[in-house]
Structure 1
Amino acid sequence: MGSSQPARGPDFARIVPPNGYAWWYVDALSDDGQNGITVIAFIGSVFSPYYAFARRKGPADPLDHCAVNVAVYRSGGNRWAMTERPRGAVSRTMDKFAVGPSHLSWDGNALTINVDEISVPIPGRLRGTIRLVPIAITPQAFTLNQDGNHQWWPIAPCARVQVRLDHPRLSWQGDGYFDTNHGDAPLEQGFSHWQWSRGAMQDRTAILYEAQRRDGSRVDLAMTFDPDGRMRAFEPPPTVDLRRTGWRVARSVRSEHTAEIVKTLEDAPFYARSVVSARLLGEPVTLMHESLSLDRFKMPIVQAMLPFRMPRARR
């Protein structure tokens, strides 16, 4: 598994081939631990039932399946917006990416996300601004499989995020993270499942990335990033099994001691996002953690359920 030197910036104008994908991901936890947010901007939404159906009929256009997915985690009730839109609702340049009324922009120093969406499954306005300021930008991008058609770049493992939402009314700041993944083939063709987590430590950020490839081999990455962006790999500690979700999705994390689920943020038939308490490199760390089962994602019954959470707009 090699690494490369990507462009300095998210490159929203990158070419995405038929049946391929690209996504830009942001997450953050508030300093008081009470709130969280994730934003994923997709070209070729990898979890879209509409894109999966289109691929079954032949090569599909990823630009016809774009979305800005937003999840707001708060004590007053979580909100999700996952509306997919067609090519006519999308515009992009190297530094700007708009999908319908929501858009992302990069000015060389910060990423600004303006969100204007309707939440699902209970309709409600989700509108406001998320601003991410990297502490450092990393130069390393990682190839995740032998064919080289799935890549990951942790653009800003260390960042500060400001959240200012009008609907729901919410304002906070905290430690955040920004990365991008892209591939030339459907995600479920390359992998069966993965566990990923990141956490802000005392003077660095830790990232754990594990995936089971379809050929039986594995991705096992464990690394820290200093505030200057310097990466240091470390030997991952043992795997600690965590309790399964309500949908029985398996969860595990690497930890030097026992690990505990602090909060389950999302519990879906093939996916879970959690806040996990663990111990890495001698330090306690709170991790933003995700578990993904791509075998479950492929199941017809799961595909039939997804449109209730992921509507598709005509424009």
Structure 2
Amino acid sequence: MWWYIDGTSENGTHAFSLIIFVGSVFSPYYSLAKTRDLQSADPENFCSFNLALYNQDKKIWTMTEFSKKHINRKNDCFEVANSKIEWKNNRIEIEIDEIATPFPKRINGKITVSANKFFLYSTWLDDDKKHRWGPLAPHADVTVEFPGLNLNWSGHGYCDSNEGDEPLENPFYGWNWAKAHLEDDSVLVFYDIKQKKGRERVLPLRFFPDGSVKRIAPPPREDLPGTKWFIPRFMRAEPARPAHILKSLEDTPFIREVCYPLVFWGTDNL
């Protein structure tokens, strides 16, 4: 399972993405352990806080894995070594104490996620109903404080969670996920899922500030330039205003993160 949180500063010059893993899908060690003996490969032995901090053209990245002897799980708190995520004072508080990679540097700071409405929405991703996903705070306010990096900013953000009863690679070839914040504070999410068995699925959902969720008609898929790893990518957009890549944040064999300008119902979104 994982929690995903991201945020962008009000002026658009800073951003972050954070994935907190129990059984990291990006871990070569977890992958090797599953290859050797799937039944004994305990996901709690491969936990991490994968943080990326973006400051214009500068990026700081952390992803140190820890075994289960370094984790502490409670109903309202999850700790991995010295970092933790906690539900406190009706908001999500995240304390980061990590080492940057590939150039070692201690990264200490705090991220706070608050929202007028936290969601309890959850839906199945696969036909066998073994994998579940849902936003916790589709439209959130975030504050980011990393004194040692001279980072202190506020902006808007997003938080969701994904959990499963089996390894992610069992039912899926891959997936494509995108979101857009709209002017009325609702959030669009497009989740395209390619299953190994069964049809391709798409979740085109709009999350409203009052907590309601509406399924919408998905716009057509539009192919975009592939990555340097020859991985295809696409986006859903209205034909009148095709999507294009503004900036590539991550381009690796296992994850691609990009910014797109999108138009929905006549309004520009990112």
Q: In which range does the TM-score fall when normalised by the shorter chain?
A: over 0.9
**Is residue 2:79 matched to residue 1:98?**
yes
Task: Specify the alignment match of 1:117 in structure 2.
Answer: 98
Q: Please state how far the C-alpha of 1:216 moved relative to its aligned partner.
A: 4.2
Letter in 1 for 2:237: S
Task: Specify the alignment match of 2:226 in structure 1.
Answer: 244
Task: Specify the alignment match of 2:161 in structure 1.
Answer: 180
243-252 vs 42-51, which moves further: 243-252
> Contact 1:223 / 1:233 at 8 angstroms: preserved in 2?
yes
Letter in 2 for 1:24: W
The count of corresponding residues between Structure 1 and Structure 2 is: 265
**Is residue 2:195 matched to residue 1:213?**
yes
Letter in 2 for 1:77: K
Q: Secondary structure at the match of 1:63?
A: helix
Q: Secondary structure at the match of 1:188?
A: coil
Q: Please state how far the C-alpha of 1:234 moved relative to its aligned partner.
A: 0.7
Residues 50-85 of structure 1: CA deviation (Å, up to 9, x unaligned): 111111222111111111110111125101101100
% identical equivalent positions: 36
| TM-score, normalised by the number of residues in structure 1 | 0.81
Q: Please state how far the C-alpha of 1:192 moved relative to its aligned partner.
A: 0.8
Q: Please state how far the C-alpha of 1:223 moved relative to its aligned partner.
A: 1.3
Write out aligned runs for 1:74-153 (5 A).
74-107=55-88, 109-153=90-134
Task: Specify the alignment match of 2:7 in structure 1.
Answer: 28
Gaps of 5+ in 1: 1-21, 287-315
Query: Matched residues in 2 for 1:47 and 1:242: separation?
Result: 24
| TM-score, normalised by the number of residues in structure 2 | 0.94
Q: Please state how far the C-alpha of 1:139 moved relative to its aligned partner.
A: 2.6
RMSD (CA atoms): 1.3
Q: Secondary structure at the match of 2:256?
A: strand
Letter in 2 for 1:197: A
> Contact 1:237 / 1:280 at 8 angstroms: preserved in 2?
no
Give 2:28's match in structure 1, choosing from 34, 38, 49: 49
> Contact 2:7 / 2:17 at 8 angstroms: preserved in 1?
yes
> Contact 1:212 / 1:219 at 8 angstroms: preserved in 2?
yes
Query: Matched residues in 1 for 2:175 and 2:126: separation?
Result: 13
> Contact 1:102 / 1:113 at 8 angstroms: preserved in 2?
yes
Query: Matched residues in 1 for 2:195 and 2:244: separation?
Result: 27
**Is residue 2:243 matched to residue 1:264?**
no
Higher relative contact order (CA 8 A, sep 6+): 1
Q: Secondary structure at the match of 2:120?
A: coil
Query: Matched residues in 2 for 1:71 and 1:23: separation?
Result: 15
> Contact 2:127 / 2:198 at 8 angstroms: preserved in 1?
no
Task: Specify the alignment match of 1:222 in structure 2.
Answer: 204
Query: Matched residues in 2 for 1:30 and 1:214: separation?
Result: 38
Query: Matched residues in 1 for 2:131 and 2:89: separation?
Result: 25
Query: Matched residues in 2 for 1:98 and 1:281: separation?
Result: 42
